Structure 1
Amino acid sequence: MIKTPEEILNIMKASAIGDLCFSHILGFVRPGMTELQVADEIERVLKSLGAEGLSFPTICVSGINTTLPHGEPSDKIIEEGDLLTMDFGAIVNGYCGDMTRTIGIGHLSAEQKKVYHIVLAAQLAAIDACKAGAKCFDVDKAARDIIEEAGYGEYFIHGTGHGVGTEVHENPYLNTRTDEILEEYMPVTIEPGIYIPDKFGVRIEDLAIVTSFGIINTVKSTKELIIL
């Protein structure tokens, strides 16, 4: 679970490729494209930037499909008023990156914006709680408390994060049950989400390196709500 400086450097390189890919996609996506078209472009760009492979099959879902945390890209057309969630990662020297960003297409409703900002607040709270010596379930609780207080607790249906290395899902797991103590140089994702059935979902994910003073966030892409 604890990574060497060389392993951390490879994870940081993978994250840098993800950031560059996200920047490219912001200029690529437009209404009328399919989820599959965007997913294919994400994967093409990751590889063109030096990824030797993908951490996992790219998730690119829009509209109603954003209610599925592990939804697969489909022929669904990306439309104005949709949220678009993209979860992807590059592999560098055998080590995985992992990031998620949710953006708006054209315009968003007040409820979509509200939920986005609740998820962001939850993610930032978990980041603040994440440091060496913290228990995994306390980091999860920091995010979950924000979402529950906002009235959306039943729609946060997975853990807050997981370890990352040569596998994209490794110990430790940040969830309601794990009392593992975080230690310096453990890479973990921080990815709360809200998924409202028959409506929409939002997830925001960074990949953090645990330190004695907090985290080093390997993902630099903005988390401000982007509406293209």
Structure 2
Amino acid sequence: MHQNRLDKLLKNMRDASIPQLILSDPNAIFYLTGKWIHPGERMLALYLNVSNQHLIFINELFPVHEELGIDKVWFKDTDDPIQLLAQYIQPHTTIGVDKSWPAMFLLDLMKYKKESTFVNGSSLIDTIRMTKDKHEIRLMREASKTNDFTMTGIINLISEHTTEKKMTQLVNNIYEELETEGPSFSPIIAYGANGADPHHSPDHSQLKKGDSIIIDIGCRMDSYCSDMTRTVFYRAVSPKAKEVYHIVKEANRRAISAVKPGVKFCDIDSAARDYIESKGYGEYFTHRTGHSIGLEVHDYGDVSAINTDTVAPGMIFSIEPGIYLPGEFGVRIEDLVLVTKSGCEVLNQFSKDLQIVE
């Protein structure tokens, strides 16, 4: 177990008056134990107690030979794992359960423990994971550096006859060549009018002169994610597209400039959103300005108008304003930022200058 991380979690549990916590999310379990366990539809549960009575319940199909610093409770496919877990849970208390635990397990446990109160306990660990330690920061810098290299490679492969879908395959090929753990999400490649859909699924569209090309990619390295978006143009850029590009770029710059400890996430969102609105494109900026990132490409926390939490050193999140004009084109520019003691460090070094690909 990572004792420092566990100690922080136990403190959060005490402060919230939640004496028992069940974690099922493989990301959270890896964060605490250093071991990946992917149970599929079978139960996986890390049981934590403020009295330091900790157990992990694992199906025998997933042998874990390493010492995890915690007692293991094994069960077979023919066992009732919920009944087994229930035997260890103290009655008449509040039990925190993470948001990832399937209802089929939670509902059965609630039958066994009718006298207990169940609450969502995800925030107890999610808020800890928001702030990265030195080791995590080093890994995320490396992942972003690799993503920069990949962006250079994929832009050099753009051609008139290469479809969006083929481009995603080429991105994944580069990730494999660079010995990453693969993409941290399905790459988004969007040509021209397809770019007006922020989460466009790449299809067989081909490029036309003047098309914008949104490239939103990220890889996973040493279990940590990267994420970056650049928008380039094929052979030409219209005056309108050029105007929109520079508005998005300035919104990106303003939001990054606003990042420093103590600032509210909603104020960072406003730095980008207010500028885009002032230029008359507010209704076309249809998503939040950013999201936290780490073991998951979308960790807990976001840069949005409703998030009044404050920024702290060690947090890493995206800054990705965009403008999406239906039937025409889209532009998004995304960087990851690491909050420092006095401001922030941008993890992506790939140029944001307007680029026309020939």
- TM-score tier (shorter): over 0.9
Equivalent position to 1:48, from 177, 180, 202:
177
Cα distance in 2, alignment partners of residues 209 and 144 from structure 1: 21
5+ residue gaps, structure 2: 1-129
Equivalent position to 1:12, from 128, 134, 141:
141
Cα distance in 2, alignment partners of residues 46 and 147 from structure 1: 34
Deviations 1:19-72 (A, max 9, x none): 111111222111221111111111110221121121100100101100010111
**1:144 partnered with 2:280:** no
Cα distance in 2, alignment partners of residues 135 and 47 from structure 1: 38
Larger radius of gyration: 2
> Which residue matches 2:199?
70
**1:123 partnered with 2:252:** yes
Deviations 1:67-92 (A, max 9, x none): 01011111001221100001111101
State the one-letter code of the partner of 1:99: M
1:165-184 residue pairs with structure 2 within 5 A? 165-184=294-313
1:1-228 residue pairs with structure 2 within 5 A? 1-228=130-357
Deviations 1:182-227 (A, max 9, x none): 1001001000000011111100000110112211111000000000
Q: Calculate the aligned-residue CA RMSD, in Å.
A: 0.8
State the one-letter code of the partner of 2:221: V
5+ residue gaps, structure 1: none
Cα distance in 2, alignment partners of residues 208 and 9 from structure 1: 13
DSSP 3-state at the match of 2:250? helix
Cα distance in 1, alignment partners of residues 286 and 323 from structure 2: 8
State the one-letter code of the partner of 1:85: I
Cα distance in 1, alignment partners of residues 216 and 320 from structure 2: 10
Deviations 1:138-173 (A, max 9, x none): 000000011000000000000000110101011221
Cα displacement (A) at 1:2 = 0.2
Cα distance in 2, alignment partners of residues 69 and 79 from structure 1: 20
> Runs of 4+ in structure 1 displaced over 6 angstroms?
none
Structure with the bigger RCO (C-alpha within 8 Å, sep 6+) is: 1
Cα distance in 2, alignment partners of residues 144 and 47 from structure 1: 36
DSSP 3-state at the match of 2:260? coil
Q: Is the 8 A contact 1:136 1:172 kept in 2?
A: no
Cα distance in 1, alignment partners of residues 172 and 260 from structure 2: 32
User: 166-175 vs 133-142, which deviates more?
Assistant: 166-175
Cα distance in 1, alignment partners of residues 131 and 185 from structure 2: 22
DSSP 3-state at the match of 1:51? coil
TM-score (norm 1): 0.98
User: 211-220 vs 103-112, which deviates more?
Assistant: 211-220
User: 148-157 vs 37-46, which deviates more?
Assistant: 37-46
* Percentage of pairs with the same residue: 39
Q: Is the 8 A contact 1:32 1:77 kept in 2?
A: yes
State the one-letter code of the partner of 1:31: E
Cα distance in 2, alignment partners of residues 198 and 6 from structure 1: 45
